[in-house]
Amino acid sequence: WTAPVVFDAADLRPRRVRDVDSYAYYGVGGGWFVFMKRDPERLEIIELATGRTKTWLAPPGYTASTGDRPNYVTATEIVFDSGFYWVRLDPRSVPWDE
């Protein structure tokens, strides 16, 4: 759910962005909702304004979801510890899902 900023509670109009079936470790920031999934190891990135998605796949032999939730998420950067190494990713560089 998301909503534009209002200054009177009566003007608040929540909007459902999309359903997320399941997630374990997630982060929110800079207009993104980011969560980690397994099989295959990946980062799912949802743009809160539109509900559009991006998927970043971990390189072969690496993991994305064995660590904790992202350390931080901003409009231009996602950082997380995979359990074995640090990943620093610009969400704008990940192509949109079809």
Is-contact 34 28, C-beta < 8 A? yes
The pTM assigned to this predicted structure is 0.75
Residue 11 phi/psi, 5° resolution? -90, -5
CA-CA-CA-CA torsion sign (47, 29, 36, 95): positive
- Token pair 């072969």: residue: 60
Please give the Cα distance from 65 to 43 (Å, whole number): 8
Give the C-alpha separation, 74 to 21, whole Å: 23
Query: Each residue of 43-88: pLDDT tens digit?
Result: 889 998 888 999 998 887 777 665 567 889 999 999 988 777 788 9
